[in-house]
Chains A and B, each alone.
Chain A
Amino acid sequence: MTTVVGHELVEQAPPEAAALEARSIRRVIGGRAVVDGVDLTVRESELLALVGPSGCGKSTLLRAIAGLEPADGQVLLRGRDVSALPAERRRIGLVFQDHALFPHLRVEQNLTFGIRDLSHRARAIAVEELLELVRLPGLAKRYPHELSGGEQQRIALARALAPEPPVVLLDEPFANLDATLRDSLRSDVVAALRERRTSAILVTHDRDEALMMGDRVAVMRDGRILQVDHPERVYEQPVDRFVAAFLGEAAFFPHPDGGVMMVRPHDLTVEAGGPDRVLAHQYLGSVWRYGIARADGTRVVAELPAGTTLIEVGETCTVRVVADHDLYRLDE
């Protein structure tokens, strides 16, 4: 059910002011630019996945946007400059990996934490709606420790959505959950955000999650954004080797016109006998994945459809490029 993510909405979004615009965000800690001049735009109702290796500065960027960390640069929310405002006046929702539910408060009190100024009745209605939204009706009276991990994370999202912020920042919200829970939660989070027409930045170090959930994906490294684009574009046309390798297995062969061409595992085929050697293979249901040492010493990963004849580990083989499309060329 994770393929629900579509791009239609993005295309239909009116070209008005972006939900969130970060300009030249820069944060220096101990002489090192942890975030080094980042520009980032999140469109209305868009889910932007911000992906990068640990320590690349993505969480710091998030905190800077939320106003929790002092930083240079500008943050515009629906065109309004909030750079000078403290966190509590920016109206940006937050969800963390460790859910950060207030352990001393019941679910309903957690949910209404940010909407205290509403009437008692309005808050009660809001609680009901929010619980519906995250598909957890009837849990209002529970304490956080009485919920499962997935339930806690849903409540955390609902709490962030309660004040109806234009943008929600999600900092690795699925990292603590097991695989099956993660899948269902991902689609529910996307659904909830869509229903509320709330924009979001999802920070993750999981490339599959980024590609799967992001309307667009931003790849970050060493405090800089390397590329922002639709998932398939980022995957298929990375701006450099790092982006290419970070988003998936990739091998690079010299391109006849100079530079290198990027080869994904499905662009390769393997035949028995030859100069190369099979190092390992994995059965993934729909494909066999081979790890192969090539004659020139490089290693590549190739995927062959299930049903092809298996080449055993240690046997010799030949790797060939068989892509039915133009291979993407990168300048070195």
Chain B
Amino acid sequence: MTLGVNAESSTTLRRRARSLPGWVAIVAVAAVVAAPVAVIIASILEPTAEVWQELWDTRLPGMIRDTVTLLVVVVVGSTIIGTGLAWLVTAYRFPGRRVLGWALVAPLAMPGYVLGFVWLDTLQGPLGARSVRSIWLCAAVLTMAFYPYVYLLARAAFRDQSAASIAVARSLGCTPWQAWWRVTLPMARPSIAAGAALVAMEVLTDVGTVRLFNVSTIADGVLRVWFGTGNRNAAAELATLLIGAAVLLIAAERLLRGRARYTQGGRRQTVVPRSSGFGSTIAASVVGWSVVAIAVVVPLVRLIRWVGEARATGQAVAMEGDLGHHLVASLQVAGFATVTCVLIGVTLAWLARRRGPVGQIVARLATLGYAVPGPVVAVGVVIALAAVDRWGWVPGGALLVGSMAGLIYALTVRFLAVSYQGVEASLAKVPPNVIAGARTLGARPWRVATRIELPLIRTGLLAASALVAIDAMKELPITLLLRPFGTDTLAVWVWRATSESFWVQAAVPSLAIVALGMIPVAILLWALERGAEVTT
């Protein structure tokens, strides 16, 4: 090691920025993933004015109203519930606290449409079919399905917070409540906002749950226009509205954060949970377990009872016979989607990291699919792939549309954002000096990536994989439209049964989805305990 080497190594990252192949690679990968979304957005180049006029005169105002209402209620609800519960399990010691801490994540494994139809049917009796189909109940169900995103991120933020900050606030005259409000909460705000943004995306793109409750959102309107009139263009334009809304949301969150950075450096004492009195122990347990009951326990009990009914009528035997096949299909689809998303996520993040802000923007463009409802992604993918198929670009004459490759591609377009965020956040935590150090020891970039960066971001990768797997497992519209023959996932089974209101027959696959989903949820928890980051 000579003196000169070190100086050179510090410019290593920048020097590579000029290399052409890297740029070609990042643009190519991003272009492939962004293509279906681009196809959709390109539709606004041929505006269909008369459809818009008609929409505006009829349904669009209602759609916008419902979408905004749902968005506000679910995001606010998820934020309050997720943040409150996160603080509860971080700061207070009460019996069953650890178990509750895990149980509160479990709804992640519960698809919104399953939660929706179970509660719809359960409340239909007492409330009546009319009042059960309301935007408020829909919002409640979506809140129960999505609050874990906020909960997980807020909990991580609270857990890593310095207890000293709270102590100082107290010494400066804040009551415990004021200290929480003025210090603890604002310090966790970026994480909470990131969780809320995830929830917002899920709400914007949900099509399964809203239909159960007769709620006409814009995402639902996209399908309405597309499949009702066959007017692909008008539907795509409507979808572009959604993408715009998502981009605005993300921009607003970034803008709000401004220059402030929320990480605290150095060693620190973290918040130590304190024992609470008898009264507050009871209160905390009741609140926490009620949420678990509403979001997990009651639906599960209900589903299990339906399975019992199905057994009693003999329907269950045939269903259980089919279970293996659907289970394998679900595992296959979720597994491939996860591996693909993470591989591409790592590639993009790794390439983008060496290419400054422009590279980051290029990579981000590839993740826009997260803001597009599943069916729209599916049709964008079909259009893009059909073009490829027509030109016969795929060697061997194999076809992409209707193939597993096509399905996985579509799921990647939809969920790449999830893995990319996690990978990017993990990579950002790898100190540049470590990489510089490796380079001075003679390691080529590939070796640095495989020997230094990958091992360092392992936990982050695991968390990202788990999140993608959870999403892919629950995903319905894309799988429904693009699955190859013989690949009927559990979600497809649920859809087939519920589209005719055969709740009893939907119970077995619904339970299987939840059970299967618990695996990545457990992995996610494990990774988060080890400090994995899931958002930037």
A interface list, Cβ under 8 A from B: 63, 66-68, 86-100, 102-105, 113-114, 116, 143, 145-146, 156, 159-160, 162-163, 165, 169, 176
Contact = CB atoms under 8 A, between A and B. Distances in A.
B264 A103 contact: yes
A96 B268 CA distance: 9
B165 interface: yes
Contact of A92 (B171, B179, B268): B171
B130 interface: no
Chain A interface mostly helix, strand, loop or mixed? loop
A88 B171 contact: yes
Contacts of A165: 171
Interface residues of B, number: 31
Contacts of A146: 259
A87 B171 contact: yes
B172 A113 contact: yes
Contacts of B171: 66, 68, 87-88, 90, 92-94, 114, 160, 165, 169
Interface string B138-179: 000000000000000000000000101101111111111011
B95 interface: no
A163 B186 CA distance: 22
Contacts of A98: 162, 164, 264-269
B173 A66 contact: no
Contact of A102 (B175, B186, B263, B265): B186
Contacts of A160: 168, 171-172
B164 A102 contact: no
A143 B262 CA distance: 10
A103 B191 CA distance: 14
Interface in B388-421: none
Contact of B187 (A63, A66, A90, A104): A104
B167 A100 contact: yes
Contacts of B186: 102, 104-105
* Candidate in A66, A92, A98, A116 with the most chain B CB atoms within 10 angstroms: A98
B263 A96 contact: no
B173 A102 contact: no
Contact of B267 (A63, A67, A97): A97
Nearest to B174: A88
B167 A176 contact: no
* Candidate in B165, B167, B178 with the most chain A CB atoms within 10 angstroms: B167
A96 B173 contact: no
B261 interface: yes
B358 interface: no
A95 B178 CA distance: 19
B364 interface: no
Contact of A96 (B164, B170, B189, B265): B164
Contacts of A100: 162, 164-165, 167-168, 264, 268
Given A94-B164, A97-B164, A98-B264, 14 more contacts: A67-B170, A86-B175, A86-B176, A88-B174, A88-B175, A88-B178, A94-B167, A96-B167, A98-B162, A100-B164, A103-B261, A103-B264, A114-B173, A163-B172
Name the 8 nearest CB pairs between A and B, nearest first.
A114-B172, A100-B164, A87-B170, A96-B164, A94-B171, A98-B268, A145-B261, A104-B186
Contacts of A169: 171
B183 interface: yes
A43 to B, nearest CB: 21
B260 interface: yes
A68 B187 contact: no
A68 B167 contact: yes
A172 to B, nearest CB: 10
Nearest to B175: A88
A102 B170 contact: no
23 contacts: A68-B170, A86-B170, A86-B175, A87-B167, A93-B171, A93-B172, A94-B164, A97-B164, A97-B266, A98-B164, A98-B267, A100-B164, A100-B168, A100-B268, A103-B262, A103-B264, A113-B182, A114-B173, A143-B259, A143-B261, A163-B173, A176-B266, A176-B267
A257 B298 CA distance: 82
Contacts of A67: 170
Nearest to A106: B260
Interface string B255-293: 000011111111111000000000000000000000000
Given A100-B164, A104-B260, A159 B172 contact: yes
Contacts of B176: 86
A291 B69 CA distance: 77
Contacts of B162: 96, 98, 100
Contact of A145 (B173, B174, B263): B263
Contacts of B189: 104
* Candidate in A93, A96, A100 with the most chain B CB atoms within 10 angstroms: A100
Interface string B223-265: 0000000000000000000000000000000000001111111
A69 B264 CA distance: 23
B256 to A, nearest CB: 11
Nearest to A93: B171
Contacts of B262: 103-104
Contact of A63 (B167, B173, B264, B266): B167
Contact of A103 (B164, B169, B173, B187): B187
A165 B165 CA distance: 18
* Candidate in B165, B172, B267 with the most chain A CB atoms within 10 angstroms: B172
Contacts of B172: 88, 93, 113-114, 159-160, 162-163
A116 B183 CA distance: 14
A206 to B, nearest CB: 16
Contacts of A95: 168
A88 B23 CA distance: 56
Contact of A143 (B173, B260, B266, B269): B260
Nearest to B262: A103
A13 B208 CA distance: 77
